[in-house]
Amino acid sequence: MADYRVAGKALTRIDTPDKAAGTACFGADVPVARALVGRVLGSPHAFARVLSVDASRARRIPGVRYVLTREECPGIRFGGDIKDQSWLAKDGCVRYVGEPVAAVAAETLEAAQAALEAVRVRYAPLAPVVDPIASREGRTLLLHEDWKQLKLGPGGEGNVLARFEKTIGSPDSGFARADRVFEHTFLTPHAHAGYIEPHACTAEAGADGKVTIWTTTQDAWAIRADVAEALGLPATKVRVIPTEIGGGFGSKLKSTFEHIAALLALRTGQAVRMEMSREEDHRGVNPRHPHVFTIKTGVKRDGTMVARELDVTMEHGAYGRGAPFQCSSKMGMASSVYRIPDVRVKACTVYTNAPVAGPVRAPSGPQYHFATEVHTDIIARELGIDPLEFRRLNALRPGDKSLAGTHQDGSMQKVMERAAAEGRWGQPVPRRADLPEEEGWRYGRGIACGFWHGPGEASSCSVRLNGDGSLQVMSGTVNLTGASTSLCQLAAESLGVRLDNVRYTTGDTDTVPESTAASGSKATRSVGAAVLSAVRDLRKKILDVAGAKLEAAPGDLVLEDGKVKVASAPERSLTLAQVAKAAPEIVGFLIGQGASPKPPACPIYIAQVAEVAVRPELGEVRVLRLVCVQDVGFAINPLSVEGQIEGAMVQGMGLALMEEQFRHPDGRLGGESLHEYLLPTSMDMPELKAILFDNPAEGTPLGMRGVGEPPIVATAAAIVNAIQDAAGVPFFSIPVGPHHLRKALAAAGNGA
């Protein structure tokens, strides 16, 4: 790091001024003249047949320009890999609360709302499918009676979208060798991504039938593909311009109502703006996947784990977009941090009457690690072994194989030991003066380890030398988490200029090369490789021009401090501005083009320690301190990386203690507002300590690894393990709210 002048430095994000001043353009800020207001009428039922839709009264309301019902929609099936969706209630059926039944475009919000209220829909409610196990076992109604015509995943039938099985060794033999076998079942709920900005978009149709969409998204290319598929248009007829994004966490990757806005714009000939209310966003946008885990682990008397078997049911919701991949790609986390020679994982993903679940920060990571790491703690405590010592005994070592692959460098053990040291393992949890002893506070500490597979994607970008010698990095990847700053640091470092002389532009689907989504902890890594490729291309062109002007061989030139110098005669030089001015007459304007193929996975290990205080009488839990040690490879911008880790820990705390879209018996999900759906606030903040473990990876820009998702996977598990340490009772579901804690203590006779 000491050899770098820009990379590896904790620099302020370049997008900070616009966002701090309020001048950044978000989804609801797009300035389009005479835009109509678009609104969607959602189903009040989780499962029902739509008997009729009467929009005649709505169409007569002054100011209403168009009312869209199923009869006016394209007869197109869509949904990506499993085409089980269609326009406005497939096959005359609604399958989750909030599913669009009609849509309107009007001159004012008041007229649009009046039109929605005037639409008359007759429903025949059906018994909703709310139990994923019952759905898996065929004890419910079918969500899609035409499932045989759908291309479900392997083993899919009825309400089961896909089934998978992965095995290492011989689990049956492993269990036969075990001295003790432990089995537990764990549950995780629906949970909203909790971003600040609800979904918002504006669509405008041209005279040639081309539609332009401004939207808050993490992946403009995916939105283009979704809209083109739903409308039956070629990609050249859909242009997507991503706006600034007020948080996404994976829930702004796919079309929610962009295709509806586009169709309304095409039908009216005017721009249509659509914004979700907070309630609509919580009701209809993809939440985290609920899971049911049954885990069985065989151990020897000394605590050595010899066999493990998991049965996993992932609930995907009403439609199957992405379900097989989301299920199969996460199974490696069942055996990813410990050396267990014999492992079998059976996983399936099922339909239920709920919004389509999807990728939310570290998809399935917090769920898998909550189950496996709490299960690990319970085993250790029942064997009378310290939880850290139990993990030391079973931690992955170089050369060990797991479902996640072969462990290479011993980083799993290293981050665990560092977390134990920084987390004061083995010492009493410091008492807090603001938590009086007479109130009965109990203190506990918990540890959890985690793994993330560290994916990457193909990417491309351009780097342009401007006339004043500054550099413009242009890519189709949205700046979601400060990646633009890190990418500019890479470009500045590689071309020997200051960060102030480099800026990043997110282009749209018509103007820049296709690039990866801002998701999956892969944006900086993937686009970074393309940036370095583009910089190499631009550097060669710069040296060619400078060589021609300085009458020097390109090999005798060096580029540093914003100048090209002759190595053998440093007094002879050109500024980059002078190179840019000379370039048009020699080679043309200077643009470097770069592309990078999809890289192999880059594994990431983390360990976290939580300290909590528990007040049994009220069921209250205070998280006092969270420590995270993460293998970051190399931090391009340590300030940004630490912020990512701290934010993830706070989100993980929310999952552990308060975040839940609870399900009503009629299939509705609770938590439709931020009054009901609780998120951590400044009043809940513990002491946070993020420690960056430098372990450069091979084949990535400067050895960096992905950052954003790994730090959330172990947080809930560490907190729940700390609560168990304090309260003396285990927990098998999250969140652990006050009522859960008091109930568990009362059942164990361990209350106040």
* Per-residue pLDDT tens digits for 196-216: 999 999 999 999 999 999 999
Kindly give, in sequence order, each residue whose CB lies less than 8 Å from that of residue 717, ignoring residues fewer than 6 positions away.
366, 369, 370, 372, 373, 374, 446, 448, 450
Position 748 scores a pLDDT of 86
Position 2 scores a pLDDT of 57
Measured between alpha carbons, how far is 224 from 206 in angstroms, rounded to an integer? 16
Q: Phi-psi category of 546—alpha, beta or left, where left has phi over 0 and alpha has psi -120 to 50?
A: alpha
pLDDT at 91 over 70: yes
Q: Report d(CA 56, CA 259) in Å as an integer.
A: 24
Residues facing 593 on adjacent strands: 462
- Hey, what are 468's tokens? 């004043």
Note the pTM of the prediction, 2 decimals. Answer: 0.97
pLDDT tens by residue, 506-532: 999 999 999 999 998 999 999 999 999
Instruction: Return d(Cα 334, Cα 367) in angstroms, integer.
Output: 10
Cis peptide before 735 (omega within 30 of 0): yes
Q: Kindly report the CA angle at 223 between 269 and 235, in degrees rounded to 5?
A: 70
Closest CA to 215 of 195, 240, 250, 193: 240
Q: With 80 as the cut, is the pLDDT of residue 442 above it?
A: yes
Rounded CA Rg of the chain: 28
Torsion of CA 355, 358, 360, 366, to 10 degrees: 100
Tokens of 212: 């332009």
What 3-state class would DSSP assign to 307?
strand
> Residue 594 burial (CB < 10 Å; 0-12/13-18/19+)?
buried
CB 455 within 8 A of CB 522: yes
> Residues 609, 615, 620, 626: what is their CA dihedral angle, to the nearest 10 degrees?
-10
Place of tokens 């390109």: 554
CA separation for the pair 193, 499 (Å, rounded): 33
pLDDT at 481: 87
- Which pLDDT band holds residue 647 (cuts at 50, 70, 90)? very high
- Is the separation of the CB atoms in 213 and 258 below 8 Å? yes
Distance CA 445, CA 623 (A): 10
Would the pLDDT of 723 be above 60?
A: yes
Mean pLDDT of 656-664: 95
The domain segmentation of the chain, as residue ranges, is 32-126, 291-454+601-748, 456-596
HSE at residue 1, side-chain half, CA atoms within 13 A, is 13
Distance CA 400, CA 406 (A): 6
Assign 3-class secondary structure to 230-295.
HHCCCHHHEEEEECECCCCCCCCCCCCCHHHHHHHHHHHCCCEEEECCHHHHHHHCCCCCCEEEEE
Q: Do 667 and 318 meet the contact criterion of CB atoms below 8 Å apart? A: no
Give the number of other CB atoms < 10 A from CB of residue 382. Answer: 12
Evaluate whether 291 touches 364 at the Cβ level (below 8 Å): yes
Answer yes or no: CATH 3.40.50.300 is held by domain 291-454+601-748. no
Each residue of 2-39: pLDDT tens digit? 589 999 999 999 999 999 999 999 999 999 989 999 99
Distance (Å, whole) CA 695 – CA 666: 50
Lowest mean pLDDT among 46-55, 102-111, 290-299, 663-672: 663-672
pLDDT at 185 over 90: yes
Residue 1 has pLDDT above 80, yes or no: no
Strand 238-242 and strand 211-215: the pairing is parallel
Q: Above pLDDT 70, what percent of the chain?
A: 99
DSSP assignment of 510-529 = TTS-----S-TT-HHHHHHH
pLDDT of 109-135, one tens digit each?
A: 999 999 999 999 999 999 999 999 999
Q: Give the C-alpha separation, 451 to 316, whole Å.
A: 23
Q: Render 590-627 in DSSP notation, one character per residue.
A: -EEEEEEPPPPP--EEEEEEEEEEEETTTTEEEEEEEE
- Topology of the domain covering 456-596: Aldehyde Oxidoreductase; domain 4 (3.30.365)
DSSP 71-112: GGS----B-TTS--B-SSSGGGEE-STT-EEEEEEESSHHHH
Neighbours of 542 (CB within 10 A): 25
Query: ∠ at Cα 120 (118, 123), nearest 5°?
Result: 150
CA pair distance 4, 484, nearest whole angstrom? 18
CATH superfamily of 32-126: Aldehyde oxidase/xanthine dehydrogenase, a/b hammerhead (3.90.1170.50)
The tokens describing 578, both together, are 């002078």
678 is written with which tokens? 């609780």
Pairing assessment for the beta strands 36-42 and 64-68 based on DSSP bridges: unpaired
Per-position b or e across 93-129, b if 16+ CB within 10 A of its CB: bbbbbbbbbbbbbbbeeebbebbbebbebebeebebb
Q: For 643-654, give one letter per residue: b (16+ CB within 10 A) or e.
A: bbbbbbbbbbbb
* pLDDT band, very low/low/confident/very high, at 751 (cuts 50, 70, 90): low
- Residues 380, 390 contacting (CB under 8 angstroms): yes
- In percent, how much of the chain has pLDDT > 90? 95
Cα 578 to Cα 591: distance, rounded to the nearest angstrom: 15
Which residue bears the tokens 């949890």? 429
What does the block give as tokens for 5?
Answer: 């002048």
What average pLDDT does the structure give for the chain?
Answer: 96
* CA pair distance 475, 468, nearest whole angstrom: 21
- Given a cut of 70, whether residue 439 has pLDDT beyond it is yes
CA distance linking residue 542 with residue 129, whole number of Å? 63
Give the C-alpha separation, 535 to 492, whole Å. 9
Read off the pLDDT of residues 550-608 as tens digits, 9 standing for 90 and up. 999 989 999 999 999 999 998 999 999 999 999 999 999 999 999 999 999 999 999 99
pLDDT at 739: 94
Q: Which of 414, 381, 378, 382 is nearest to 395 (CA)?
A: 414
CA distance linking residue 69 with residue 90, whole number of Å: 12
Q: Work out the average pLDDT over 711-715.
A: 98
pLDDT in tens, 319-339: 999 999 999 999 999 999 999
Domains 32-126 and 291-454+601-748 share a fold: no
Which residues are CB-contacts of 280 (< 8 A; sequence separation ≥ 6)?
40, 42, 98, 198
Sheet holding 471-475, edge to edge: 502-506, 471-475, 459-465, 591-596
CA-to-CA distance for 111 and 104, rounded, in angstroms? 9
**Does residue 752 surpass a pLDDT of 70?**
no
